[in-house]
Amino acid sequence: MAGGNTSVPSSILKVKIIAGKAADVSAYRLYDNDKVSGDADMVFYGQKTNDDGSVSLLEEGLTSVFEVNLPKVKASVKKITFALTCDNHDTIQALSKLAIQVECDNEVIIVANVGMSSRAEAALILGELYRRNDEWKFRFIDQGFNGGLKPLAEHFGIEVNGDEAPVAPSSPAPASSSGASSGQSTVNLSKISLTKESPRVNLTKKDDFGLIRVNLNWNQKAESKGFLNNLLSANKSIDLDLGAFVRLKDGEKWVIQALGNTFGYFDSEPYAELQGDDRTGAVTEGEWLHINGSQWKNIDEVLVFAFIYKGVPNWAQTDGVVTIHMPGQGPIETRLTEGQNRNGMCAIARLTNHNGSINIERINQYFSGHKDMDNAFRWGFSWTAGSK
């Protein structure tokens, strides 16, 4: 129940927030006044690790995971508080279920379930790790907020960029403000979620978009039962691969993927490069595709896809999310929520060049394989069996 507390080991802990729908999570290092000392004390989708690496956001989705290295936490920090905010104007009740769980050495030591009945708040402070007589304890809080992430962050003393506003998915996205007039930096909370109802966003023309980073992340470990059991044995991890079709303005076409070791090139054609292939699940940040935004004038289209390399697909349980990051712009994300279990390939999103602007469109269509997806979008590649 709320207010209950228990001791935890002064060790490396995993704090998991488990919900029935995807929601945003955040953590705050707090000091004697129950406030942060600066922007580095907040960990969330826009800043996944704090300045000393003591708190990191490893995974996001139906199960979001923070890693807290308690021996690394500065002596002046009195609390680390964990919170959740709902997406798309949802309320806590709409999540169907919500719990916070603390683990040490892969053993669950605390589980606290949130009562969901009549919960109209959009944000919730779930719990906190706090110091008491030179030891660490965990307290379940369950304190609601009617606002979203901005008032929650401001409650803890975070300075939020007051000029920023959510970008409508059909309107141009301006570059973010560089900070407050005082010269102090402010946290940029802007994020765009592409959904079935709002599938597009346009980024206005620029001479140089900088480094465009596309991230694929997913629930890389199986649950103890029912989760891709036929794929996972001997503690193997899910092998979900990121890739892209790239077409340049001169008509040249490329396939970027680990299959066949066609990783691409960043500084030369096709100006897109896959950053390795995580086959073990050990890389908690998932897989990355880098696109050279300074060469956007030479790129016509990038079709981003993912496929399950081994095993029977179960996209709903992969809890996959693709996030596009670029300088001066909040993250743009889309979730793989509509997959059919018979189809192992997903066309996720495409970035198209319209007179120098970037049009980003959520697709979320599922196919039996590369050739099937190619035919659907008429790219015209020739396909043979491959391996990696």
CATH of the domain at 234: 2.60.60.30
Mean per-residue pLDDT, 78-94: 87
How wide is the angle at C-alpha 9 spanned by C-alphas 138 and 74, nearest 5°? 80
How wide is the angle at C-alpha 209 spanned by C-alphas 271 and 175, nearest 5°? 160
pLDDT digits (tens, 9 = 90+) for 255-307: 999 888 899 999 999 999 999 765 544 556 788 999 999 999 999 999 999 98
The first and second tokens of residue 112, run together, are 């606290």
Domain boundary among 125, 155, 185: 155
pLDDT score at 170: 38
Q: Are residues 203 and 117 in the same domain?
A: no
The least confident of 177-181, 292-296, 307-311 is: 177-181
pLDDT score at 265: 96
Domain boundary among 124, 155, 186: 155
Residue 46 C-beta-side C-alpha neighbours within 13 Å: 23
> Which letter does DSSP use for residue 257 in this model?
B
Q: Has residue 174 been placed in a domain?
A: no
Q: Is 161 helix (H, G, I), strand (E, B) or coil?
A: coil
176 vs 282: which has the higher pLDDT: 282
Which domain, by its residues, includes 95?
Answer: 5-155
> pLDDT above 70 covers what percent of the chain?
81
The first and second tokens of residue 6, run together, are 């228990």
Q: Has residue 188 been placed in a domain?
A: no
Asked if the model's pLDDT at residue 223 lies above 50, the reply is no
Q: Give phi and psi for 108, each to the nearest 5.
A: -75, 125
pLDDT category of residue 341 using cuts at 50, 70 and 90: low
pLDDT score at 35: 94
pLDDT digits (tens, 9 = 90+) for 265-275: 999 999 999 99
E strand spans, 86-171: 98-104, 107-113, 123-132, 135-145
Q: Are residues 149 and 222 in the same domain?
A: no
Asked if the model's pLDDT at residue 386 lies above 70, the reply is no
Q: Are residues 239 and 370 in the same domain?
A: yes
84-95 burial code (b ≥16 CB/10 A, e <16): bbbbeeebbebb
Q: Are residues 115 and 207 in the same domain?
A: no
Asked if the model's pLDDT at residue 323 lies above 80, the reply is yes
Q: Are residues 289 and 341 in the same domain?
A: yes
Distance between CA atoms of 349 and 184, rounded to whole angstroms? 36
Q: Are residues 230 and 341 in the same domain?
A: yes
Q: Are residues 29 and 121 in the same domain?
A: yes
- Which strands make up the sheet holding 42-43, listed edge to edge? 5-8, 135-145, 123-132, 79-85, 24-30, 42-43
pLDDT score at 121: 86
Cβ atoms 373, 362 nearer than 8 A? no
pLDDT score at 279: 52
Q: Are residues 105 and 240 in the same domain?
A: no
Q: Tell me which residue of 61, 32, 332 sits closest to 194, measured CA to CA.
A: 332
Mean per-residue pLDDT, 363-378: 92
Q: Are residues 147 and 200 in the same domain?
A: no
203 vs 187: which has the higher pLDDT: 203
215 vs 341: which has the higher pLDDT: 215
Q: Are residues 217 and 356 in the same domain?
A: yes
Q: What is the chain's length? A: 388
- Which strands make up the sheet holding 272-274, listed edge to edge? 192-194, 329-335, 321-326, 211-217, 287-292, 272-274, 264-265
Q: Has residue 298 been placed in a domain?
A: yes
Write down the mean pLDDT value for the chain.
Answer: 83
